[in-house]
Structure 1
């Protein structure tokens, strides 16, 4: 049977970063406590388990800021997943954590509870860049937290970077990479900044208080990151993710390989059978529906064969393993040939992005899907 995952969304943050458009709430934005959330989460997991789901091979607690629950709260979350849906032996169990809400005792508590992986939001080692992003931690706190997690006994620790922030320089990126590599973590994620409508950053750019990100600079930053990580022994396995051998995130691979998962918590998305559905976003409404005995689903859709094919190409081509060459429709063969000749794709039994092709991944995927 294919791997099955459980995602748990923790919708709380101490403050809101200027670039963030996730389903998160600060204390002034929501009339719901952590205790009410945990009670409601337990009810959702019980209702999910009643559908006869397989036990989880991966569990991922994201947010938001899961570390605001503390090690005890996260241990309770994991315990509820185990007692309801179930967790297989050898499962990968991850939680995201914000550096400013962690400590050596916190990491020791996570390890004792059964977590096997920690993902830390670093974003940058530059104080000016962190100020632009409105991150609360100091430049050195994320790497200190990574060392604490490793010292506690975690084998798998990820640091998240963001590149392309307005005002960021190549030297800022180099300093961040140097700081990441000095920790010895086995996984690095690097995402280009996307300025989402409705965020404070978007409003600042619109008012001229910040320069707009330079799209042309993204490729240069990506090449710098990719080359530096490759030289340090990290292999890319997805366009934005690098790991030392054995350090790949199994839960995220589950998404990219189009496997099944249950998403619990306010706003969480699920994919079960041919059905995609997502929960109501507001924590108060989420808790009320569950108190009334209902799954908190806001909307759902049945995935058609055509949509499943599109997702398989769109997600699979971002992976280093690529997709079966025969998956691409006949109508796109000329487009594929063009990209192969241009050195952007390599074709054998599987179709894969080349190193140069990774810089243009979104455009290549769009070209193939449009031609089909």
Structure 2
């Protein structure tokens, strides 16, 4: 999420929060995020808190992971008691490297300590090669109703560039298997603007996701993060940097193809058919409360944000000693919360209320063709979506 995650104040050993933070917990919704840090291999562009088998030390066994997360959940239940859990999202890493039974055990634990709402959205991310029809059936029987598959591209050479291990046809096949297993909502992720990707490569990827019968598509421009293997290769001149102009062209192609196929954008990088929007992400984007379980996971309750120790071994050690895995936390000021609210809400289809932003910034965006004003809200135009970060800067200065 937005905000500078600098060293903050220590988290108490019991994980307790100020009373003021929990006074209205869940008023705008309550979500649970479960971080699963395991990956079969590391992609060159990835800077997430993930580990391959060779990078893990003792105390970080996949076999013990579900039990460790359940220990954090029991601690969390002593700290907060929301009226219900609206959404659960298993991310990573590759959550589906755990057995469907272990993911189901964690979900059962969340229901036991906090209670899932009757219409709770329960999602897991998955790499296409880590799932099967049988695995999907077990997940569906455990209560999962949404899956997000990392497709990235339908071009084999682009997948190789990104260090993805699945074949070009596996992602749409997995999406169809999920629907056949009874999943109500299926997302496919795309990454565009990879060096070497052609206009036709991306057009073919768009046709593939549309033909797969999914109801949600996320499409992101390739971002080269410092510290990744890809960034090092680009600094050495071994690979070209992504082009902003190409990324803009790809975005316009995605908007045209997905809109023609019955999808609507509801956040700058996300399109869905009716009823297919990711409710979990919508809670993030609208300042709800959430608890993040797992190493490196971030949480937010009532203006207090904290994050767990990053390494799975350190995370497990603390919990098996009965100590909170929280590494540090920060109390957001009113200014912090306003800034983050603007950054996130501007990107949404419903836009942001005029009374929450600088009128001069709104006029500048409207005069420049980057936004329109409708029903006392400022809403980005298509051109504005390409320049959303610039619009946010103008609204905050």
Same topology, TM > 0.5: yes
Q: Is contact 2:362-2:378 (8 Å) kept?
A: no
SS at match of 1:50: helix
Q: CA deviation digits over 1:329-363, x for unaligned, max 9?
A: xxx32222121112111113111111221111011
Pairwise CA distance, 1:52: 3.0
In the alignment, the residues of structure 2 paired with residue 61 and residue 187 of structure 1 have an alpha-carbon distance, to the nearest angstrom, of 17
Q: Secondary structure at 1:352's aligned position in 2?
A: strand
- 2:386 pairs with one of 353, 359, 362: 359
Structure 1 distance, partners of 2:276, 2:73, is 28
> What is the alpha-carbon distance in structure 2 between the residues aligned to residue 44 and residue 85 of structure 1?
13
What's 2:39 paired with?
13
Which residue, out of 80, 95, 119, partners 2:109?
80
Kept in 2, the 8 Å contact 1:117–1:156? The answer is yes
**Structure 2 residue aligned with 1:150, among 154, 173, 179?**
179
Unaligned runs of 5+ in 1: none
Residue 336 (1) aligns with residue 365 (2): no
Residues 120 and 159 in structure 1, CA contact (< 8 A), matched pair in contact too = yes
Specify the alignment match of 2:11 in structure 1: none
Aligned to 1:213: 242
Once the two structures are superposed, the pairs formed by residues 271-282 of structure 1 within 5 Å of their partners are: 271-282=300-311
Q: What count of residue pairs does the alignment treat as equivalent? A: 367
The Cα offsets for residues 255-310 of structure 1, whole Å up to 9 and x where unpaired, read as 01111100000000000112000000000100111111111001100010001111
| Aligned ranges 1:100-119 → 2 under 5 Å | 100-119=129-148
CA distance in 1: counterparts of 2:41 and 2:81, whole angstroms: 35
Alignment RMSD (CA, Å): 0.9
Q: Per-residue deviation at 1:113? A: 0.2
The equivalent residue for 1:128 is 157
Contact 1:126–1:176 (8 Å) recurs in 2 = yes
Aligned to 1:27: 53
Cα displacement string for residues 229-255 of structure 1 (whole angstroms, at most 9, x for unaligned residues): 011110000000000010000000000
More displaced 10-residue stretch of structure 1: 27-36 or 255-264: 27-36
Q: Do the aligned residues in 2 keep the contact of 1:46 with 1:85 (CA within 8 Å)? A: no
* 1-structure distance, mates of 2:361, 2:109: 49
- Aligned counterpart for 1:48 among listed residues 76, 90, 96: 76
- The alignment's TM-score, normalised by the length of structure 1, stands at 0.97
For 1:201 and 1:163, the matched residues in 2 are separated by: 15
Instruction: Give the aligned partner of residue 10 of structure 2.
Output: none
Shift of 1:318: 0.4
Answer whether contact 2:28 2:287 (CA < 8 A) is retained.
no
The separation in 1 between residues aligned to 2:72 and 2:322, in whole angstroms, is 9
Between the aligned partners of 1:223 and 1:259, the Cα distance in structure 2 is 31
Distance 2:361 2:120 in 1: 40
| Contact 2:110 2:116 survives alignment (8 Å) | yes
2:120 to 66, 91, 100: 91
| Partner in structure 2 of residue 322 of structure 1 | 351
Check the 8 A contact 2:34/2:297 in 1, yes or no: yes
Q: Distance in 2 between matches of 1:170 and 1:100?
A: 26
Aligned with residue 212 of structure 2, among 183, 187, 203: 183
* Moved segments of 4+, more than 2 Å: none
> Residue in 1 aligned with 2:96?
67
Q: SS of the residue aligned with 1:308?
A: helix
TM superposition shift of 1:215: 1.4
Cα distance in 2 between the residues matched to 1:17 and 1:232: 31
The residue aligned with 2:270 is 241
Of 195, 200, 205, 1:166 maps to 195
**What's the CA shift for 1:187?**
0.2
| Aligned twin of 2:342 | 313
1:84 CA displacement: 1.9
Separation (CA, whole Å) in 1 of partners of 2:328 and 2:164: 33
Question: How far is 1:58 from its partner?
Answer: 0.3
Tell me if structure 2 keeps the 8 A contact 1:261–1:271. yes
**Residue 191 of structure 1 contacts residue 240 of structure 1 at CA under 8 Å; is this kept in 2?**
yes
